[in-house]
Structures are given as structure tokens and as C-alpha cells.
Amino acid sequence: MSILEIWLGILQGFRVTALVTLYGLVFAIPFGLIFGVAQYMTTGPARFVVTSIIEFWRSSAVIILLFVFYYALPLAGLALSAMTVSAMVLGLNIGGYASQAVRAGLQALDRGQKEAGQALGLSRSTILLRIELPQALVAMSPTFINQLIQLVKATSLVSLVTLTDMTFRAKEISQIEYDPVPIYSSLLLAYFIVCYPVALLGRWVERRINPAYVERPAVQGCFQSISPHEDGAVICPAFLRGT
């Protein structure tokens, strides 16, 4: 089998990989935001319950969760499709990590902003939605993009519950051809081609939503850091200093 035929065979599973990623985001984004904010705002027993739910999805092995929800739940009378199980498990697992980014981003904000909002008579929800979250989401954007890339790569596990994604197609071809090196090398390159544009998109989004810092060429190999609160400073890598 030629390399072109291998590629065409692997790409037959791209639609499933893309669908699992998109459906996974439907679970990951609400879960990360809601539980991250809940962990930030709650105290006592309520915070313990929220943290326990987050840690269950964040700390459990994805492959075990896939098997349990796909093969064990039908024994209890609840049968879910392979697509639903895959999107839910991967999405909530990634959402567990994202929730910690949300919580950390909110906790990193200056407490004086919340106190100023309270002094103005704003409600706690208004302070959260109008003051804290807009600032925290900017700081969280790199982490969210990283989690999206992790979600795409994690879709390689859904072949274990019979979904015909790119990894499943590669396994099929490998069982026919008995030549795994070019097949899995092509699969590796396929995931890179899918994930790298997401990383580039993330960098572009980060620059667009965070205008406080802009990088532009100052001298060859160096960049000038521009902030509205300070003069631009030329920053050079260590090996270029003194040149």
C-alpha cells in the first residue's frame, strides 16, 4: 500500500475525530466555567462537593471511564451511544482541568477590584460577570487553547469503544498490511497537522484579546514589549545580548 493510500485511509476517520472534539467542547466549556466559578465562590461543604466532582473527572483515567460508561452502564439499564460516551468522558475530563484554570485566574485578580465593586453597591454576581470574569478569561486563553489541543489528541482513545476515528482507521490498515512504521508515522503526522493550526489560532486569539502587550520587531532577533503603562523595553535572547 502506498503512502497516499495510507493517508486516504487514515483521513476517512477525520470526520469522527472532529465530531468527538466538537461535541466534547459542548461538555468541557460549561463544566469548566460553572465548576471553576463555583469552586472560587463557595465555601465549606458546598466547596467540598464541587471539588469532589472536579477531582473525579480530572483524576480518573480516561480509558477506564470510557470502558465503564460504555460497557458497564448498559448493565444498569442505561445504554449510551459510543459518540455520546466519548464526547462526555473526554469533555468532562478536559473540563476538570479547565475549571482549575478558571479558579486560578479568578483568584489571581487584585482583591481591590472586588472591594471597589462592593463599595459601589454592585451585587456579587455583577462583580463576577462584569469585572472579574472578563479579565480572568484573557489570562486563561492560553490554557484553554492547550486544553483544546489535549482534547483533540485524546480522541485517539475513542477507537476503544468502536468509533472509527483516525486511530481506528490506522489500526485497520496496520492489521491488513503488517507494516506499522509508515502507518503510525502517518497517523502521528496527521494529528500534528490537525493540532498545530489550533496552536497558531490560539496565539492569534491571545494577541487579539490582550492588547496590553504587543510584540513587534525592534532589532534582528529581539522584540519590543509595549505596555500602555510603561515605555517599550527591548528584550533580547541571552545569546544575542552584546551583539
| Pairing of the two strands 223-227 and 214-217 | antiparallel
Q: For residue 212, what pLDDT is reported?
A: 55
Using alpha carbons, select from 71, 69, 67, 60 the residue that is nearest to residue 94: 60
User: Residue 67: phi, psi to the nearest 5?
Assistant: -65, -45
Half-sphere exposure for 55 (CA within 13 Å, toward CB): 7
Using alpha carbons, select from 198, 199, 193, 188 the residue that is nearest to residue 156: 188
Q: For residue 210, what pLDDT is reported?
A: 66
Q: Give the single-character DSSP code of 95.
A: H
Query: Which parts of the chain register pLDDT below 70?
Result: 210-243
Q: For residue 133, what pLDDT is reported?
A: 87
Cα(first)–Cα(last) distance of the chain, in Å? 53
- Contact residues for 143 (Cβ-Cβ < 8 A; gap 6+): 98, 101
CB atoms within 10 A of CB 61: 10
User: Residue 212: phi, psi to the nearest 5?
Assistant: -65, -30
Half-sphere exposure for 66 (CA within 13 Å, toward CB): 19
Sign of CA pseudo-dihedral 137, 138, 141, 143: negative
| Residue count of the chain | 243
Q: Cell triple for residue 115?
A: 472591594
Cβ proximity of 97 and 192 under 8 Å: no
Residues 187, 194: Cα–Cα separation, whole Å: 11
Q: For residue 35, what pLDDT is reported?
A: 95
Ordered alpha helix ranges (H), the chain: 3-11, 14-41, 44-59, 62-67, 82-107, 111-119, 124-127, 133-154, 166-177, 180-209
Ordered alpha helix ranges (H), 68-159: 82-107, 111-119, 124-127, 133-154
